[in-house]
A and B are shown apart, each in its own frame.
Chain A
Amino acid sequence: MNSMTPNCPLPLADHPKVLMAHGSGGRMSAQLIDKLFRTAFDNPDLDTLHDGAILTLPQYLQQPLLQSLPQQQRIAMTTDSFVVNPLFFPGGDIGCLAVNGTVNDLAMCGARPLYLSVGFILEEGLAMQTLWRIVQSMRTAADIANVHIVTGDTKVVERGHGDGMYINTTGIGVLEHEQAIGPTQVHAGDAVLLSGDIGRHGMAVMAQRENLSFDSHLKSDCAPLAEVVLALLKAEIDIHCLRDATRGGLAAVLNEIALASGLQIDCEESAIVVNDDVRSACEILGIDPLHVANEGCFVALINPTDQVRALNIMQQYNTQAALIGSVQKTASALVTLGTAIGGKRILDLPTGELLPRIC
């Protein structure tokens, strides 16, 4: 890691300004995080490159407070900002997304989500009724996910300086086990499980935002994932890594895990469920469903001896859960995909913003 320098470590000549692609979860997002943020904030807790930070409580706080928990008490902390446009979309809205997104990041750390903070950035002129609907939606989502919204902040910006509203949520959860979960824990031979079908959230939002009149029932998969993760932990499944497949889709999370673990992940395309509405929309627009965002779907990399038990548990929460691949020890940290006709290809990170193809 470079020490702090006054010069920006990103190649300025290439991108002197922030582009939409820097926020899309693809290669340019990864470069921004790696070259700019990690360089600036360098510390061991940040370097795990997980969905949240797992922090060990200082010794003097541990024993008297939480007797029932494991010896070394650890908490998980994460934060996420939500800028989705439109504010309401089929299957959800920015409010439930802001709750579930942070709940899910905590769950991916193997934590039980407990508390959320919420920061609102509201645009002057936003209808109070809209704000009320979104706040109600957040309350419902928090109740379902069993978390409490315990602190918050509100700022209002001038009309034209925000898209109606932006929300930031920060979450704290507690680890009730002693497993180490994260991309660096992944081993060769691990089974790769996917918790459900993919692509619904991204395509539902895109169809709504762009007024695409698909004759379909595209609905976001926005949902909390903590319950199924806690069930896996309770059953003592040997979990090595969990990741929810949000921005950049399944392709991005598998690549991030491959890169962080230095191992190759081989998947079978036919095992990955994509429902017909999503496939149709993706075919029309020339978008790969593996690059499309999800908000209620995760991958679990686990000890293969537990794969049958784990899959049984995951299928109790979503019948579409499936074993999609395995981890291999090879010279290159790639993700490969066995294709429907028996071929093989590399599954790469999405390059940037998902742009519909010309033909």
Chain B
Amino acid sequence: MKYIDEYRDGEAAQQYLTAIKAITTRPWTIMEVCGGQTHAIVRFGIADLLPDDIHLVHGPGCPVCVTPLEMIDKAIAISSLPDVIFCSFGDMLRVPGSAQDLQSVRAQGGDVRYIYSPLDCLKIARDNPDKHIVFFAVGFETTAPGNAMLVYQAAQEGLNNLSVLVSHVLVPPAIQTIISSPQSRVQGFLAAGHVCAIMGTQEYTPLAHQYQVPIVVTGFEPLDILQGLYMCIKQLEEGRCQVENQYARVVTEQGNTAAQNLIAQVFRITSRKWRGIGDIPQSGLSLSPQYAGFDAEQRFGMAADTPVEEPEECISGLILQGLKKPKQCTAFGKACTPEHPLGATMVSGEGTCAAYFKYST
């Protein structure tokens, strides 16, 4: 299949592996930020093919995983209300809140639907004028433009029966939190290619300089990841700390400015809690004052967060920061499985623990 097979070619992969071995002279610890990259690393068995000196740690870049428990509980509360049609990206349906998940709400008669594009909600709202449509707007900078477009178009159309439950998060503040932690062992980053397709590469340059770490913007196919690792290791071996772009076929320095403008219009930057990590200042998006009327939390009177405790056994916070691996957790594969996840990293297929559970030999 064109544009896929080229990036999964076994021979080319072997060449990159040989090249990585040739330049690696000592141990390096590199974090891939995005859950999609973690998924590819375990799905294609990449970690086992790398030299023993290269340690991959898996970052916090799975939006499903890092959405805080309090927000899942709000989604469940809203979706359980009569006359609400609750729409979500598919994999949010499985994420357990403190008592149940959205699939269970559906089984109890709630109208919970998964949609493929946020804009599908417009049609649902037009077709159901006597219902209130709520969209669960989660994700990183990648999903923000589509979600912003939903709000923008709903405003243009004057759709009053639609609102959004926003739990957006941003990548650079998370990288900053990880790299500035005294416990951090991460020496280089593979940044998330699709996030940078929207935002460009420029916001990573100050991070690379301030914290003296190489950051390589990387794609999601096996060869992308191997090339990204090669570029990152090369910088580490040569003592350089720059932002480089492996994913140049998609990512430009400026990014998609039209999408950025729309995000800036519809959303504003806010502090946000990350499941497993905690509050990170200026790390999320919420609706800008102009669009505040579309805020589902306001409409349904759920503005205040009731803090919820995560199970004590779960070490997902340490895993999200790359400080521990799933197999170091006593609950992994026992008390905690994809059907009964205890914490953030087991809840989504993108999550580190779920990926290890599914794919790792």
Partners in one complex: yes
Cβ of B181 < 8 Å from any Cβ of A? no
A215 on the interface (CB 8 Å rule)? no
A66 contacts B by Cβ under 8 Å = no
Q: Which of A21, A334, A359 has the most CB of B within 10 A?
A: A359
A residues 240-255 near B (Cβ < 8 Å) are none
Is B103 in contact with A356, judged by CB distance below 8 angstroms?
no
Q: Judging by beta carbons under 8 Å apart, are B106 and A20 in contact?
A: yes
* Distance between Cα atoms of A336 and B45 in the complex (Å): 11
Does B43 interact with chain A (Cβ within 8 Å)?
Answer: yes
Decide if B143 touches A359 in the complex (CB within 8 Å).
yes
> Is A21 touching B340 in the complex (CB atoms < 8 A)?
no
Tell yes or no: A146 within 8 A of B by CB. no
Judged by a CB distance under 8 angstroms, whether A236 is at the interface is: no
- B361→A346 contact, CB < 8 A: yes
Contact with B along A179-200 (1 / 0, CB 8 A): 0000000000000000000000
A352 within 8 Å of B (CB atoms): yes
Q: How far is the CA of A356 from the CA of B88 in the complex (A)?
A: 10
- In angstroms, Cα B107 to Cα A18, docked, is 7
Contact of A45 with B by CB under 8 A: no
When the two chains form their complex, are residues B4 and A343 in contact, meaning their CB atoms are under 8 A apart? no
**Do residues B89 and A356 form an inter-chain contact, with CB atoms below 8 A?**
yes
Chain B contacts with A in 1-39, Cβ cutoff 8 A: 1, 4, 8-10, 13-14, 36
Residues on the B chain within 8 Å of A359, using CB? 36, 63, 139-140, 142-143, 194
Tell me, in angstroms, the Cα distance from A18 to B104 when the chains sit together: 8
- A338-359 vs B, Cβ < 8 Å mask (1 yes, 0 no): 0111111110100111011111
- Per the CB 8 Å criterion, the residue count for chain B at the interface is 49
Q: Are A357 and B103 in contact (CB under 8 A)?
A: no
- B359 is an interface residue with CB less than 8 A from chain A: yes
Find out whether the CB atom of A341 lies under 8 angstroms from the CB atom of B8.
yes
Q: Is the CB of A358 within 8 A of B49?
A: no
Q: Which listed residue, A270, A344, A357, touches B45 by the CB 8 Å rule?
A: A344
A288 smallest CB distance to B (angstroms): 8
| Set of chain A residues within 8 Å of B143, measured between Cβ atoms | 358-359
A133 to B310, CA, bound (A): 54
Question: A52: shortest Cβ distance to chain B, in Å?
Answer: 28
In the complex with contacts A355-B90, A355-B93, A341-B361 CB distance below 8 A: no
* A352 & B14 in contact (Cβ 8 Å cutoff): no
Query: B359 to A355, Cβ gap below 8 A?
Result: no
In the complex, A359 Cα to B49 Cα: how many Å?
26
Question: How distant is A74 from chain B, measured CB to nearest CB, in Å?
Answer: 37
Which chain A residue has the least Cβ–Cβ distance from B223?
A: A341
- Cβ–Cβ contact A358 & B10, under 8 A: no
- Contact partners of A270 in chain B: CB under 8 A: 10
B222, CB-defined interface residue at 8 Å: yes
CA–CA, A203 to B125, complex, Å? 27
Interface string of B48-65 (1 = CB under 8 A from A): 110000000000000110
Q: Which of A212, A283, A348, A353 contacts B4 (CB 8 A)?
A: A283
Report the separation of the CA atoms of residues A33 and B9 in the bound assembly, to the nearest whole angstrom.
41
- The answer to whether A358 and B138 have CB atoms under 8 Å apart is yes
Q: Considering the complex, which residues of chain B in the window 92-119 have a beta carbon less than 8 Å from any beta carbon of chain A?
A: 92-94, 103-104, 106-108, 114, 116
**Which of chain B's residues have a CB closer than 8 A to the CB of A81?**
none
Contacts of A210-235 to chain B: CB distance below 8 A: 210, 212
Contact pick for B44, options A283, A343, A352, CB 8 Å:
A343
Contact mask for chain B residues 208-237; partner A; CB cutoff 8 A; 1 contact, 0 none: 000000000000001100000000000000
In the bound complex, CA of A288 to CA of B103 (Å): 21
CB contact under 8 A between A210 and B90, given known A342-B49, A344-B48, A345-B42: no
**Which of A210, A280, A339, A351 is the one whose CB lies under 8 Å from B94?**
A351
- In whole angstroms, what is the CA distance A356 to B338 when docked? 16
Q: Which A1-50 residues have C-beta < 8 A from chain B? A: 14-15, 17-21, 27-28
Q: A358's contact among B13, B14, B64, B106, by CB below 8 Å, is which?
A: B64
Residue among B43, B107, B114, B139 making CB contact with A355, cutoff 8 Å: B114
Check B103 against A19 for contact (C-beta < 8 Å). Answer: yes
Contact B93 A356 (CB under 8 A): no
Within the complex, which residue of A18, A279, A345, A352 is in contact with B360, where a contact is CB–CB below 8 Å? A345
Inter-subunit contact A212/B116 (CB<8 Å): yes
Q: Shortest distance in angstroms between B274's beta carbon and chain A's nearest beta carbon?
A: 16
Contact B1 A280 (CB under 8 A): yes
- Is B44 touching A339 in the complex (CB atoms < 8 A)? yes
Nearest A residue to B47, CB-CB:
A343
Known: A356-B116, A358-B91. 13 other contacts (CB 8 A): A17-B104, A21-B103, A339-B44, A340-B10, A345-B361, A346-B361, A348-B358, A351-B94, A355-B90, A355-B114, A357-B350, A358-B63, A359-B63
Pairs A–B under 8 Å by Cβ, sample size 20: A279-B1, A280-B1, A339-B43, A339-B222, A340-B44, A341-B9, A341-B14, A341-B49, A341-B223, A343-B48, A345-B361, A346-B359, A351-B349, A352-B103, A355-B94, A356-B89, A356-B91, A357-B349, A358-B143, A359-B194
